[in-house]
Amino acid sequence: MDFELSEEYKMLKDSVHDFMTKEIEPIAEQIDREDKFPEWVWKRMGELGWLGITIPEEYGGSGFDYLAQAIVGEEMGRICPALALSAGAHSNLCCDNLYRNGTEEQRHKYLPPLCRGEKVGALALTEPNAGSDAVGIQTTAKKDSDHYIINGTKMFITNGDIADTLIVYTKTDPQKGARGITAFIVEKGFQGSFTSRHLEKMGYRGSPTAELSFEDYRVPRQNILGEENQGIRVMMSGLDAERAIFCGLGIGIAERALELSLKYAKERVQFRQPISNFQLIQGKLADMYTALEASRLLTYKATTLAQKSERGGKGTEIHKVAAAAILFNAEAATKAALDAVQIHGGYGYMLDYPINRLFRDAKLAEIGAGTSEIRRIVIAEALLEEV
Ligand SMILES: Cc1cc2nc3c(=O)[nH]c(=O)nc-3n(C[C@H](O)[C@H](O)[C@H](O)COP(=O)(O)OP(=O)(O)OC[C@H]3O[C@@H](n4cnc5c(N)ncnc54)[C@H](O)[C@@H]3O)c2cc1C
């Protein structure tokens, strides 16, 4: 077992670190305030190869793996979690899903412009009445000769209002529950009505989130991703990798919370000494460091396992490990951000200190990609099945 990253990963990590520090840190607060990141950032990330990290080079990607994707998320998340979320949803939820489940024709058609940053990708599963219970989706796709007609509403979709290419989950046979789900590659601009409503969030501002409505939206048959009524396979094929990869953002947030707290604790003087002299403050710093290290190890294990496992899902080791990684990671990041606010005292509560943004951002990881409650259920079910 080697705990050192290889040179290749280190170089990738350093290049993302430098870009984020030089180019994004000065505008991170503005991105949060305006709830919008500049278009040039997306194009630049495409040029740098960070929008198709796990996609093989023949389809325009960088040919890395899930560990690399988590490392990129970590370095982006340290400075601007919103950017990391949008890039992650694009690269993993859309591109990697399309690569894993797409035909050769679909891969060649859709992946290169997505990887180059000319197009934005998204994945639309959640609905107003179907979140944790994803199989309960009500959006339908009805066959009409060589097309399917989509009707329904999707909720909380990352990049939803700016996406050009979306993976959309529908019911093609509503009576059959999980066995009646079909995933489609949907382009903006197909015939029919497609509307989006931008949603205001407490955190991750700058990463657009939208409610999407499809009305008589016509999608060609050849845009089915995977097979008809086999959408649950498409969904499950990526869930564990998604959970493992999104841990990168939590690591970035926790790392930044610790960095800012260490600096502030050494500078802030109360009772004629830096507050870093107080053991109750030191205890918080030590806990932040410990959780961060544990979180990173679990994440690297989960991403490596996800890469090795052909298809994750129920009954596989990765299903349990990925749920454990993101459960721990998300709660550790929220706690680190909360402790960082406490160390900063009243200043931590002020909007012009970056710490409040980390706190607002951190909480999402306990909700998206399956909530903490669902993750605990997944882990417990797996443990009990093993006995
Ligand atoms: C900013 C943001 C971005 C998102 N991006 C995307 C995206 O790009 N694409 C997409 O498809 N979705 C996206 N989502 C949706 C996200 O995946 C869902 O919010 C999440 O799955 C939870 O669903 P819900 O919000 O409907 O909550 P619910 O499922 O309604 O849960 C409400 C509460 O009940 C609990 N609960 C539910 N079932 C159980 C149970 N069986 N046992 C115990 N407790 C339970 C939950 O843990 C939670 O605490 C995003 C959400 C947000 C907030």
The pLDDT of residue 328 is 98
The two tokens of residue 321 are 């490990």
Q: Which fold has domain 7-119?
A: Butyryl-Coa Dehydrogenase, subunit A; domain 1 (1.10.540)
Three-class DSSP category at 149: strand
If we measure between CA atoms, which residue out of 12, 100, 99 comes closest to residue 59?
A: 99
Residue 353 in this model has a pLDDT that exceeds 90: no
Cα 370 to ligand 1 centroid, rounded to whole Å: 6
Distance CA 154, CA 78 (A): 29
Q: Check if the beta carbon of residue 291 is closer than 8 Å to that of residue 331.
A: no
Distance CA 271, CA 20 (A): 37
User: How does DSSP classify residue 5?
Assistant: P
Q: What are the φ and ψ backbone dihedral angles of 154, each rounded to 5 degrees?
A: -110, 145
The pLDDT of residue 311 is 72
Mean pLDDT of 220-237: 96
Candidate CATH numbers 3.90.920.20, 1.20.140.10, 1.10.10.410, 3.40.640.10; the one for domain 233-386: 1.20.140.10
Residues with CB under 6 A from ligand 1: 89, 122-126, 131-132, 156-158, 201, 204, 209, 364, 367-368, 371, 373-374, 377
Which is more confident, 352 or 91?
91
Distance CA 160, CA 163 (A): 5
C-alpha radius of gyration, the chain, whole number: 21
- Per-residue b/e over 99-127, b at no fewer than 16 CB within 10 Å? bbbbeeebbebbbbbbbbbebbbbbbbbb
Kindly report the CATH class assigned to 122-225. mainly beta
Nearest CA to ligand 1 atom 48: 371
Domain boundaries, the chain: 7-119, 122-225, 233-386
The two tokens of residue 166 are 């979306």
pLDDT above 90 covers a percentage of the chain that reads 93
Question: Do the two domains 122-225 and 233-386 of this chain adopt the same fold?
Answer: no
Q: Count the residues in the chain.
A: 387
Residue 133 in this model has a pLDDT that exceeds 90: yes
The two tokens of residue 237 are 């094929």
Residue 183 in this model has a pLDDT that exceeds 90: yes
Mean pLDDT of 216-229: 98
If we measure between CA atoms, which residue out of 205, 254, 225 comes closest to residue 78?
A: 254
Q: Is 227 a catalytic residue?
A: no
* Amino acid (one-letter) located at 257: A
Mean pLDDT of 345-371: 93
Cα 262 to ligand 1 centroid, rounded to whole Å: 34
Tell me the pLDDT tens digit for each residue of 35-75: 998 889 999 999 999 999 999 999 999 999 999 999 999 99
Kind plus residue range of the DSSP H or E element containing 46: helix 39-48
- Measured CA distances, 3 to 174, 177, 274, 296, 297 (Å): 48, 44, 34, 11, 9
pLDDT tier, 315 (very low <50, low <70, confident <90, very high otherwise): confident
Distance CA 152, CA 73 (A): 32
What is the full DSSP assignment across 278-340? SHHHHHHHHHHHHHHHHHHHHHHHHHHHHHH-SS--TTSHHHHHHHHHHHHHHHHHHHHHHHH
Residue 220 in this model has a pLDDT that exceeds 80: yes
Which of 363, 367, 377 gets mutated to test ligand 1 (max ligand atoms within 8 A of its CB)? Answer: 367
* Amino acid (one-letter) located at 106: Q
Which of 156, 202, 374 gets mutated to test ligand 1 (max ligand atoms within 8 A of its CB)? Answer: 156
Nearest CA to ligand 1 atom 24: 131
Cα 211 to ligand 1 centroid, rounded to whole Å: 14
Distance CA 157, CA 199 (A): 9
Q: Check if the beta carbon of residue 139 is closer than 8 Å to that of residue 151.
A: yes
Q: Which of 74, 75, 242, 366 is catalytic?
A: 242
User: What is the chain's mean pLDDT, rounded?
Assistant: 96
Q: What is the 3-state secondary structure (H, E, C) of 217-274?
A: EEEEHHHEECCCCCHHHHHHHHHHHHHHHHHHHHHHHHHHHHHHHHHHHHHCEECCEE
Three-class DSSP category at 132: coil
Distance CA 224, CA 169 (A): 10
Cα 128 to ligand 1 centroid, rounded to whole Å: 10
Say how many CA atoms lie within 13 Å of 120 toward its Cβ.
Answer: 21
Mean pLDDT of 257-261: 98
Say how many CA atoms lie within 13 Å of 103 toward its Cβ.
Answer: 11
